[in-house]
Structures are given as C-alpha cells and as structure tokens.
C-alpha cells in the first residue's frame, strides 16, 4: 500500500472547525482497472471514492457509508463505499456516450431524472439514508448541499481525481462551543478562503502535509494519526452460494440443464466464482 493512501484528520485550535484530507492511489487501482472506464467516468468514480472516505471520517461510530447515484444519463449507476477502518470499493456503469473529453456537469452524466443517496450502515443500530440534491455542477457542490440540508453543518469539500489517483479535502464547522460566535465565523471564513486557493492539481499531486502547510501555515492545525486506506471487497464464495440458493430449485435446475455450470463475477473486484455440475447438484439437493 502506498504511504499516500491515508485519511488525515485535523483540528484548528481555539475554534470549532475540523477537517479531513485524503490521498488515494494504490487503493483505487483495483476499482479503476476493473472495467475499461472512459476518463470522465474514472474521474467521477475517483472523486466519489475520495468523498466517501472523507464523509466516513465524520462518523462517530463504526460502520459503512455509501454514495449511490442512478439515472438515465451516460452514467446509469455510480457507487462508492468506505468503512470506518479504511476499506474502500466502488463501481460505475456507463454508456459509450461518456467518451467525450469534455467535463460535463454531474447531473448531465447521471441524467435529468437522476437520484443520489448517502446510506450509513452502523455496525450497531439502524441504517440511515439521506437524499443528495443534484442541483450543483459538481459532486463536491452536491455533497455540500447534502450537509447543509441533512446535517445542518456548514461544510466545504474539494475533490480531485485523475491519473489513477484521488484526493479530497473537507472542512466542517461544528456547533459553536465557544461563546464568541463572531470569532468562530471569522475563522471559518478565513480557512475556507485559504482552501479556495488550492488548485485541483496541488490537491492531487502534493503530499497531505504539504497541502496543509501551504494553506494553513499561519494558523497550523493540530493533526491526528492518519488512518491507512485499502481496497476491500466483501465478496466471498459463501455469499455467491447464498445468491444462487435464493434463485430456487427450478431456476438452478434450468441452469444445470442448459449450461452445466455457473460462473459468477463480482462487480467490484471482477473475481470469478465457478460452480460446476457437481456444485450445482449439491445446491439443488439443499433446497
């Protein structure tokens, strides 16, 4: 794993402002190489992976966070997922019309009737899902709207994806604990203005510590220990077996009669699980 594959949390002293910065390279390689993605889809998928890692860093419990978008546009499905302990995976389904070298707006890629949702699955407790408005021109802008409406916390995101890498920066203003609200508001505006000077090339190319120093050297944040990130697929032969069993006896008998075997490929990691005639017969016998 590359040393750049990590999420770094930081806090600004004497304020209620926190941040996260993420760099991804080795951990996104299996995702981007799983399909022959056009460049525009690679960029969107990479940004989505950086976004879910940043958002997972805001959770106060162990669990999984996913971003999913579907629509009638060139990208019919976008899915990115991250766990609290640094596992990531994702995929996209697309049409040939995404081959353009231009950078279309997000809602143009997903489609006019597109929907996007953030789903949070705690290891303990109930699942939560929030809808992301697709009114912004970029993924970052749409997610900022999500935080504003669902979390009611001022949040800014900067996302970048390209050349097999992904990166992101998140700033968030927590509910004021300090009595001087005007001071908090001034600090918030100051750090956001500084972050707005960051180019996407700098975010993508520079080490996290260099980015933080370049932006905030006058008011350096306190940095916590980084969380390493890695590609993590949850597929297994047992899960595929359960999927085949769910088809029922009649469907499995038809597969056995017509094909003699079944090979199931994971959408996330492209790993194949092969079930020969004997395997299928044993599954039928279980039903």
- Helical pair 208-216 and 181-195, crossing angle rounded to 10 deg: 120
Cα-based distances in Å from 56 to 85, 166, 235, 253: 9, 16, 21, 43
Cα-based distances in Å from 141 to 23, 137, 148, 231, 240: 20, 7, 11, 26, 37
- Tokens 């996290």 belong to residue: 208
Report which of 145, 141, 142 is spatially closest to residue 153, judged by C-alpha positions.
145
**DSSP state letters, 218-243:** SSPPEEPPPEE-EE-----HHHHHHH
Where do the structural domains in the chain lie, given as residue ranges?
6-231, 237-286
Q: Mean pLDDT, the chain, as a whole number?
A: 87
Q: Which CATH class is domain 6-231?
A: alpha beta
How does pLDDT run across 134-188, given as a tens digit for each residue? 888 899 999 999 998 887 888 999 999 988 999 999 999 987 665 567 777 888 9
What is the three-class DSSP state of 216? helix
At 265 the pLDDT is: 76
How does pLDDT run across 27-50, given as a tens digit for each residue? 999 999 888 899 999 999 999 999
Q: Token pair for residue 277?
A: 């005639």
Q: Give the phi and the psi of residue 88 in degrees, each rounded to 5.
A: -135, 155
CATH 3.90.1280.10 fits 237-286, yes or no: yes
Per-residue buried b or exposed e for 122-147, using 16+ beta carbons within 10 Å of the residue's own CB: beeeeeeeeebbbebebbbbbbbebb
- Reply yes or no on whether the pLDDT at 234 is more than 90: no
Q: Are 79 and 91 in contact (CB under 8 A)?
A: yes
How does pLDDT run across 78-118, given as a tens digit for each residue? 999 999 999 999 999 998 755 454 667 788 889 878 889 99
């Amino acid at each position: 794993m590359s040393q750049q594959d990590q999420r770094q949390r930081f806090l600004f002293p004497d304020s209620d402002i926190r941040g996260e910065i993420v760099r991804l390279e080795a951990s996104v390689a299996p995702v981007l190489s799983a399909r022959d993605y056009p460049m525009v889809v690679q960029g969107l998928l990479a940004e989505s992976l950086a976004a879910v890692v940043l958002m997972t860093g805001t959770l106060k419990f162990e669990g999984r966070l996913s971003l999913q978008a579907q629509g009638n546009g060139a990208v019919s499905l976008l899915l990115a997922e991250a766990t609290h302990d640094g596992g990531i995976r994702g995929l996209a389904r697309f049409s040939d019309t995404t081959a353009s070298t231009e950078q279309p707006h997000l809602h143009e890629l997903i489609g006019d009737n597109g929907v996007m949702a953030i789903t949070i699955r705690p290891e303990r407790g109930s699942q939560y899902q929030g809808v992301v408005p697709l009114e912004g021109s970029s993924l970052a802008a749409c997610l900022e709207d999500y935080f504003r409406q669902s979390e009611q916390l001022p949040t800014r995101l900067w996302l970048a994806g390209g050349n097999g890498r992904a990166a992101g920066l998140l700033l968030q203003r927590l509910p004021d604990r300090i009595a001087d609200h005007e001071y908090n508001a001034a600090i918030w505006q100051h750090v956001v203005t500084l972050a707005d000077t960051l180019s996407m090339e700098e975010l993508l190319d520079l080490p996290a510590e260099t980015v933080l120093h370049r932006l905030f050297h006058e008011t350096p944040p306190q940095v916590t220990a980084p969380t390493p990130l890695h590609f993590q697929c949850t597929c297994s032969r047992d899960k595929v077996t359960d999927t085949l069993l769910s088809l029922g006896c009649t469907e499995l008998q038809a597969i056995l009669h017509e094909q003699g075997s079944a090979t199931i490929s994971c959408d996330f990691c492209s790993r194949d699980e092969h079930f020969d005639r004997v395997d299928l017969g044993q599954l039928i016998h279980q039903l």
